Amino acid sequence: MMKASCPERDPAIQPGAKVVLVLRILLTLLALYFLWLCVKFAVLSNRITMDSVYREHPESIYQRTHSEKPTMEEQRARFPLPLFPGMQNPEFGEMELNGHPFFRVDFDVSARPERILHYYRQQLVSCGWHDITEEAIRKAAMTENPYQEGVLDLQNEAFLRNYDHMMRTQATFTKWGAHATVAVKDGGHPWLTRVGIHYIEYGSPQQLAQELEQSLGIGEQGIDPDHPTTFSQNMGAQRAETTLLTSADPPEVFCQSLVSESLADGWRELDLPQRGNARDDGRSAFLMADNKLLFIQVSFDPEKQVSRAVMTRMMARGE
């Protein structure tokens, strides 16, 4: 089996010293991935409203570019890790998290999970990556809170079952400047396995973990509203830039303040006939400026007792 071309090897690294840090990054990326799915769901759930924007404002840049998508060959070529031979129905995603390139792909393949994980362990380790799967799982199992110390109970049958399952369904790799995870599960048919791969590049692992923890409020320091999370995604000729913000204000007040700031920056609020005013619920708004669209949606987080805002700007790629 052919091996992927390897970038220049990094200096020797002690994998064990990075386990806690990589685990923190893994948890924050998982949280951010679900937030990203929430953003996509928010846009899809407002599809009728978005369609009315396109009809009422045909000059919108999204109207002219939303059907343009990169080809499958282009997406395959841009993905930084080897792709399993014979993959089917691939779904690629690419964005930037706080300026850090983030790639993902999900696909089906007619191969057993253990063969897939063996393939990626062989490919990545030969390219200078460090397999820290076992260390990360052990550390995570020591305590319900991975940010605290704990004692690993090897007599706990539930832990042993979970440990065995995780070792058979995922692999975690680190390399100076990058982090990758490979996860496998049953596909839609008995002969298929579903594979998901995440890859992120960063300059400083400590800085990345701290940035994401501060903005998402999942670390020891809690939420820091002065450090929002931003990510962007290219979709053909279109670019979507999303910012996640938090506030102690109620959702309606927070939304109004964001709209006021946007109006002061030159945006204008859209009045959409099919829905009445776009802000009837007080927690969402559509705005437009220079052929760009801005969608604001605010929700309340009962666990953290804060309001969370998603601000997505749609514009032409390259602007």
Both 313 and 207 in one domain: the answer is no
Query: Per the domain annotation, does 19 fall within a domain?
Result: yes
Q: Is residue 126 part of a domain?
A: yes
Verify that 181 and 33 share a domain, yes or no.
yes
One domain, residues 61 and 75: no
pLDDT band at 111 (very low <50, low <70, confident <90, very high): very high
**How crowded is the C-beta side of 98, counted as CA atoms within 13 Å?**
24
In a domain, 227, yes or no: no
Q: Which residue has the higher pLDDT, 9 or 99?
A: 99
Last residue of a domain, one of 198, 222, 246: 222
Domain contains 1: no
pLDDT at 221 exceeding the cut of 80: no
Does residue 177 form part of some domain? Answer: yes
Whether residues 196 and 208 fall in one domain? yes
What CA–CA distance (Å, rounded) separates 279 from 281?
A: 5
Q: Are residues 202 and 262 in the same domain?
A: no
The CATH number linked to 302 is: 3.30.310
Residues of the chain with pLDDT > 90, as a percent, come to: 23
Q: Residue 286 belongs to what H/E stretch? A: strand 284-289
Q: Which pLDDT belongs to residue 36? A: 56
Report how many domains make up the chain: 2
Does some domain include residue 264? yes
Residues 61 and 180 in one domain: no
Is pLDDT above 80 for 32?
Answer: no
Residue 8 lies in a domain: no
Identify which of 251, 230, 248, 247 has the alpha carbon closest to the alpha carbon of residue 313. Answer: 230
Stretch 251-279: mean pLDDT, rounded? 78
* Per-residue confidence (pLDDT) for residue 126, from 0 to 100: 94
Q: Which of 181, 199, 222 is the last residue of a domain?
A: 222
More confident residue, 46 or 236: 236
Spatial contact of 198 and 103, defined as CB atoms under 8 Å apart: yes
pTM for the full predicted model = 0.64
> Does residue 114 sit in the same domain as residue 183?
yes
pLDDT at 71 over 50: yes
pLDDT band, very low/low/confident/very high, at 65 (cuts 50, 70, 90): very low
Percent of the chain surpassing pLDDT 70 = 57
Quick check: helix, strand or coil at residue 253? helix
Domain endpoint, select from 166, 192, 222: 222
Question: Are 186 and 288 contained in the same domain?
Answer: no
pLDDT at residue 158, rounded to an integer: 72
Number of residues assigned to the chain: 319
Neighbour count for residue 187 (Cβ, 10 Å): 17
Q: Which domain holds residue 105?
A: 14-45+70-222
Most trustworthy range by pLDDT among 120-129, 169-178, 282-291: 120-129
Band of residue 7 on the pLDDT scale cut at 50, 70, 90: very low
Residue 95's pLDDT is 78
Residues 22 and 110 in one domain: yes
> How many DSSP H helices and E strands does the chain contain?
9, 14
What is the pLDDT at residue 160? 74
Both 205 and 319 in a single domain?
Answer: no
Highest mean pLDDT: which range of 151-155, 208-212, 264-268, 298-302: 264-268
Q: Do the domain assignments include residue 200?
A: yes
Q: Are 215 and 245 found together in one domain?
A: no
129 and 266 fall within a common domain:
no
Measuring CA to CA, which residue among 77, 104, 102, 57 is closest to residue 242? 102
Model confidence at 166: pLDDT above 60:
yes
Beta 130-131 vs 284-289: how paired, if at all? unpaired
